[in-house]
Structure 1
Amino acid sequence: MGRFNAGVVNWARMYDCYSDVDRVPELLALVEREDDAEAWTELGYRLVLEHDLLSPASLASLPRLVRLAEGSTQARHLAGAIMERAASHHDGDELLADSAEVIAEFGALLDRHLQTRPADYLVTFRALLAVREQYHWANVLGDFADDFYELSCPHCMVEVTIAIGGHGRYAAIRDWHLGDIERRDLRPSPAEELSGVGRWMYEIAVRDGKAVLAEGISHLFGKAECPGCGSVFTIADEYEAANCLVLR
Structure 2
Amino acid sequence: MSPLTTSGRLNAQVVNWAQMHDCWFDVDRVPELLERVERQEDAEAWKELGCRLVLEHDLVSPAGFAALPRLVRLAPRSAEARGLAGKILERAAGRHGCDDLLADCADAVKEFREVLNRHLGSRPADYLVAFRALLAVEEEYHWANALEGFTDDIHHVDCPHCGVGVTIVIGDFGCYSQVWDGGEEIRRDLRPAVGEELTGTGRWMRHITVRDGQEVLANGIAHLFGKAECPACASVFDVAEEYTSANRPS
Matched residue, 2:10: 5
Q: State the shift of 1:142 in Å.
A: 1.2
Is 1:235–2:222 an aligned residue pair?
Answer: no
* CA distance in 2: counterparts of 1:141 and 1:47, whole angstroms: 22
Matched residue, 1:49: 55
* CA contact 1:161–1:174 (8 Å) conserved in 2: no
* CA distance in 1: counterparts of 2:62 and 2:192, whole angstroms: 41
Give the letter for the 2:72 counterpart. Answer: V
Matched residue, 2:210: 206
| Match for residue 183 of structure 1 among 169, 187, 205 | 187
* Aligned residues with identical type, % of pairs: 62
Is 1:70–2:79 an aligned residue pair?
Answer: no
Is 1:138–2:149 an aligned residue pair?
Answer: no
Is 1:169–2:193 an aligned residue pair?
Answer: no
* CA distance in 2: counterparts of 1:190 and 1:93, whole angstroms: 38
Q: State the shift of 1:90 in Å.
A: 2.9
* CA distance in 1: counterparts of 2:98 and 2:227, whole angstroms: 33
Compare 183-192 and 91-100 and name the one that shifted more. Answer: 91-100
* CA distance in 1: counterparts of 2:173 and 2:232, whole angstroms: 21
Give the letter for the 2:240 counterpart. Answer: A
Matched residue, 2:197: 193
* CA contact 1:222–1:234 (8 Å) conserved in 2: yes
Matched residue, 2:3: none
Matched residue, 2:95: 89
**Local SS of the residue matching 1:87:** coil
**Local SS of the residue matching 1:86:** coil
Matched residue, 2:5: none
* CA contact 2:17–2:28 (8 Å) conserved in 1: yes
Instruction: Give me the CA root mean square deviation.
Output: 2.0
Q: Runs of 5+ in structure 1 lacking a partner?
A: none
* CA distance in 2: counterparts of 1:131 and 1:174, whole angstroms: 39
Judging changes above 3 Å, is the alpha-carbon distance between structure 1 residues 135 and 174 closer, same or farther for their aligned structure 2 residues? farther
Q: Runs of 5+ in structure 2 lacking a partner?
A: 1-7
* CA distance in 1: counterparts of 2:137 and 2:249, whole angstroms: 14
Matched residue, 1:114: 120
Once the two structures are superposed, residues 63-117 of structure 1 have per-residue CA deviations (whole angstroms, 9 ceiling, x without a partner) of: 1100111111111111111111222233354432221111011011001000000
Give the letter for the 1:62 counterpart. Answer: L
| Match for residue 221 of structure 1 among 219, 225, 233 | 225
* CA contact 2:116–2:130 (8 Å) conserved in 1: yes
**Local SS of the residue matching 2:232:** coil
TM-score scaled by length of structure 2: 0.90
Give the letter for the 1:5 counterpart. Answer: L
* CA distance in 2: counterparts of 1:228 and 1:71, whole angstroms: 51
Matched residue, 2:108: 102
* CA contact 1:221–1:234 (8 Å) conserved in 2: yes
* CA contact 1:135–1:245 (8 Å) conserved in 2: no
Q: State the shift of 1:5 in Å.
A: 2.4
* CA contact 1:69–1:75 (8 Å) conserved in 2: yes
* CA contact 2:189–2:228 (8 Å) conserved in 1: yes
Aligned residues: 242
Judging changes above 3 Å, is the alpha-carbon distance between structure 1 residues 66 and 245 closer, same or farther for their aligned structure 2 residues? farther
Judging changes above 3 Å, is the alpha-carbon distance between structure 1 residues 174 and 65 closer, same or farther for their aligned structure 2 residues? farther
* CA distance in 2: counterparts of 1:17 and 1:61, whole angstroms: 13
